[in-house]
Amino acid sequence: MKGFARPNLLNVFGRICALADGQYGLLAIGQLRGEVSEQVLAQLQDAGVVEPVIDGVLRVRAGAVHPHQALYATWLLAEAAPAWERSLTTLVVSHQTAAQLYGAGTASGARIEFSGKSRNTLSENVTVYPRSVPDDQCTVVEGLPVTGPARTLADLADGHGFDLSDLGRLARSFISQGWTTADRLGPELTEQFADREPAYDGPAWLESALAAAAKG
């Protein structure tokens, strides 16, 4: 750490910490907007002050680790604005990745899935569905915007390889973990399925899905 008392390097580290403090210890290099040279970042990395998480995202080596670090880092990489300045509906965790974020273990896709738009190019293992998610159809889990349980179920019911029993297990997990209730989820599913032909009755669909899950 010799030589780290230089004011410019301390200022750089202060800027890095200010960003990382509100982002679970992480920052995208693009968020520094050219304020920090690659040489200085390399110095900090060599000194063990920061470490790479994914390409383009660093973690300040202090404090706890985000429970979904690669996912959060990928979301950070999508644009330059600090996490606390972003609209929660611009890029929302969705589909199988949403189920994983909720801890609903039925979904195990290797890809990271979002709905919305990314201002920056993300890696090949990321899928961004170019569609908006209204405020009332998303929530925040571990600092990440994510589609609500009803929207997540409706997304996965739309040609993603999940049968009724799979979806029932997801619904049961959402309910048992307290993310929603059956009384709330049923009517919300009616709204999510409203554009289908024929439209589904949400409470009846949920009852059928839970019954299918109970059969194994």
Bridge partners for 28 per DSSP = 57
Q: How many domains, in total, are found in the chain?
A: 2
Indicate if 102 and 51 belong to the same structural domain.
Answer: no
Helix (H, G, I), strand (E, B) or coil at 92: strand
Asked if the model's pLDDT at residue 6 lies above 70, the reply is: no
Question: Using 50, 70 and 90 to split pLDDT, how confident is the model at 106?
Answer: low
Give pLDDT tens digits for 10-41. Answer: 888 888 999 999 999 999 999 998 788 888 89
Indicate if 150 and 102 belong to the same structural domain.
Answer: yes
- What does the alpha-carbon distance between residue 103 and residue 174 come to, in Å, rounded to a whole number? 8
What is the per-residue pLDDT for 196? 83
Mean pLDDT of the chain: 90
Question: Using 50, 70 and 90 to split pLDDT, how confident is the model at 62?
Answer: confident
Burial of residue 148 (number of CB atoms within 10 Å: 0-12, 13-18, 19+): buried
What is the per-residue pLDDT for 71? 96
Indicate if 116 and 201 belong to the same structural domain.
Answer: yes
Across 113-125, average pLDDT: 94
Query: Is-above-0.85 flag for pTM?
Result: yes
Helix (H, G, I), strand (E, B) or coil at 53: strand
Indicate if 55 and 95 belong to the same structural domain.
Answer: no
Indicate if 169 and 94 belong to the same structural domain.
Answer: yes
- Expressed as residue numbers, the domain containing 123 is 87-214
Decide if 123 is inside a domain. yes
Alpha helices per DSSP H over the chain: 7-21, 38-46, 69-77, 95-101, 149-156, 164-176, 182-192, 202-214
What is the per-residue pLDDT for 138? 95
Q: Which residue has the tokens 């301390």?
A: 10
Across 115-138, average pLDDT: 94
Q: Which of 47, 46, 50, 48 is nearest to 15 (CA)?
A: 50
Give the dihedral of Cα atoms 141, 145, 151, 153; nearest 10 deg: -50
